[in-house]
Structure 1
Amino acid sequence: MIALGKIGYLNVLPIYHPLETGILPNDFHIVSGPPARLNVLMDKGELDISAASSVEYARHPEKYHLLPNIAIGSRGPVQSVLLLSRVPVRELAGQTILVSAQTHTSAALLRVLMKQWNISVEYRTGDATRTLADGQRPAAILCIGDEALNLRHHADYPVRVDLGEAWRDQTGLPFIFGVWIVQRTAVATNPHKAIEGCATMLRAKQWGQDHIDELCVLAAQSSMLDNAQMCSYFDGLVYDLGPEQQEGLKLFYRYLYECDEIPAVPELDFLQIQDRVPA
């Protein structure tokens, strides 16, 4: 069995649905969780292949290969990575932002953007949904995934900054929140098995893109969003990691290095599996 990490959000449904339902035969044992947990499991070597925060690859490039042309990102508004604020963002200077504990990349992106905007704030990690349910009202909240979709119209937070859109406005490039990575040790130990697992992931991605309309309807059944809203959400997502997406990722890594978030700007080291994936 191949231990495969799955982000527990709707945005990866198009890739994992054909694997979990058996539409595409596979040898995966799927472990689901928020990005931050998958990052830890990959770092410990407890998963062979996984979706992971873009930051995780940048922090440990010596441990991983990137899967080619598969990612989770946006080319503008992403809708599920939001800074919710009670006041205009410029007025947050000197205040504290509650940051979801589930995210690494989105938290790093927020720090990069705040530095670009020359706004100095403090950050506190926590659970946004629980904090609001307890009656607390932080000045601003960074929330991601399904939580962001559910909280984006909260009456106490009239200012909403979509970080995918903010990045596009700042750089003109897509933003890559997550990548798929494979352990170098897994490839070295059993290259055929690891490469075939990665090739299956690319086939799953293609299946999801070919069936995105029906997957929108399926996703809406377990969400607060209706069919039209869910289709709008998926339409704003990027699952490719082509030249333009790679430029966005490289720029993000350069910014992270300049902010002392990572020790060096990593090379994008892709596992060579294209010849094993049917056209």
Structure 2
Amino acid sequence: MGGFKMSLVVGEISYTNMLPLYYYLDRDHLNKLGCMFIPQVPSQLNAGMSKGIIDVGGISSFSYGEHVDKYTILPDLSVSSPQSVGSIFLFSKVPLTQLDGKKVALTSSSATSVNLLKIILQTFYGLNVEYEVMKPDFDEMLKDHDACLLIGDDAILTFWNLKEKIHRYDLGQMWYEHTKLPMTFAVLAVRNDILEKENHRIATLFDNFITSKKKCIENNYSEMISSIRQDFGGSKSFWENYFHGLNYDLSERHIEGLYHYYDLATDLSLLKKVNTISLWSALDRCHSI
């Protein structure tokens, strides 16, 4: 068997913004190959991957930055926003510029967005804020705090149900306004110790991710949106606009944006310096076929 793992554990970020990369996966075929899928929020997947429980899958870009020596990124795949992201919001009782010295509640489900908010408030606006990490619950978070950060489906549902006059800030938009670069919130990464042994299964999984992304874009996300609306509600036009505002590539501009994000995080001592982002090359797989 030569160290062949019985199963390859694949992390699946359980938010609609990640769905295009997973929607059309040939799960029957991948299950037969021994791929096992675990849907969780990003912070759980980040932890699972760092402990070696999860082998490959979607993680926060920040978590990749923390484990840059141990992980490799799969190319051409991400959850990014060229400008506004539409599901990562700071909800605030006061205008953003009045948050100096105030208390902000942070969602426990994320790493990239939490650190992005710190960069935006401290580096871009020069605000000093007191942070507390909490479970994502809008009402609880704003009981004793002046603002709260929510991401993913929690952010979308909160936005839909907002009654009182609350200021809402889109972190993707604010990042773009200050950097003119896309913001990459999640990447698909694989542990290096797995890559050495599992190149063939990783290659098959990678092809599936790329195919799923292409199919979703080709049919304008229509099938996927129908199933999201059954589970989740929302209008067809809301979801179309939402997915059109997102991007699933990993171009040179995306990488430039990631390096800039990592540098700013390093400046605030949130992260050690990231010198090199490693991308898996499809060419590496020749020997395994």
Q: TM-score, normalised by structure 2?
A: 0.89
Partner of 1:178: 186
1:181/1:201 CA distance change after superposition, 3 Å: same
CA distance in 2, matches of 1:138, 1:109: 19
In the aligned structure 1, how far is the partner of 2:163 from the partner of 2:145? 13
1:269 aligns with 2:278: yes
Q: Which range moved further: 54-63 or 218-227? A: 218-227
Aligned ranges 1:126-205 → 2 under 5 Å: 126-129=134-137, 132=139, 136=143, 138-153=145-160, 154-156=162-164, 158-205=166-213
Counterpart in 1 of 2:95? 88
Counterpart of 2:66 in structure 1 is: 59
Structure 1 distance, partners of 2:144, 2:165, is 9
Deviation of residue 24 (structure 1)? 7.8
Consecutive unaligned residues in structure 1, runs of 5 or more: none
CA distance in 2, matches of 1:238, 1:152: 21
CA shift for structure 1 position 107: 0.2
* Counterpart Cα distance in 1 of 2:176 and 2:279: 25
State which drifts further: 62-71 or 209-218: 209-218
Q: CA deviation at 1:249?
A: 1.0
Q: 1:174 to 1:162 in 2, by over 3 A?
A: same
Q: What CA distance in whole angstroms lies between the structure 2 residues aligned with 1:240 and 1:101? A: 26
For residue 10 of structure 1, what is the aligned residue in structure 2? 16
Deviations 1:43-67 (A, max 9, x none): 0111111100001111111111110
The amino acid across from 1:11 in the alignment is N
Q: In the alignment, which residue of structure 2 is the partner of 1:31?
A: 38
CA contact (8 A) 1:100 1:128 kept: yes
Indicate whether 1:121 and 2:129 are aligned.
Answer: yes
Change beyond 3 A, Cα 1:274–1:13: farther
**C-alpha distance in 1, partners of 2:73/2:63?**
11
Q: Is the 8 A contact 1:108 1:256 kept in 2?
A: yes
Partner of 1:234: 243
CA contact (8 A) 2:77 2:188 kept: yes
Task: Report the CA distance between 1:137 and its aligned residue.
Answer: 5.6
- Displacement of 1:135 after TM fit? 8.3
User: Which secondary structure state, in structure 1, belongs to the residue aligned with residue 23 of structure 2?
Assistant: helix
Q: Is the 8 A contact 1:19 1:26 kept in 2?
A: no
Say whether the 8 Å CA contact 1:98–1:126 is kept in structure 2.
Answer: yes
Give a deviation string over 1:9-51, Cα, whole Å, max 9, x none. Answer: 0112211121276598873210010000000011011111110
SS of 2:77 mapped into structure 1? strand
- Amino acid corresponding to residue 113 of structure 1 in structure 2: I
Does the 8 A contact of 2:142 with 2:148 survive in 1? Answer: no
Distance 1:23 1:185 in 2: 24
C-alpha contact (below 8 Å) 1:216/1:234 kept by paired residues: no
**Residues 1:206 and 2:214 are matched in the alignment:** yes
Aligned-residue RMSD, C-alpha: 2.2
Deviation at 1:133, TM superposition (A): 5.8
Is residue 105–residue 142 contact of structure 2 (8 Å, CA) maintained in 1? Answer: no
Q: 1:190-236: CA deviations, max 9, x gaps? A: 33233333333223322332232332222222224211101111110
TM-score (ref. length: structure 1): 0.92
Please list the CA deviations of residues 163-201 of structure 1 after superposition, one character each: whole Å capped at 9, or x if unmatched. Answer: 000001111111000000011001112332333333332
Structure 2, unpaired ranges of 5+: 1-6
Instruction: Provide the aligned length of Structure 1 versus Structure 2.
Output: 276
Identity between Structure 1 and Structure 2 (%): 27
Looking at structure 1, the residues matched to 32 and 256 of structure 2 have their Cα atoms a distance apart, in angstroms, of 32
Distance in 2, Cα, partners of 1:26 & 1:159: 49
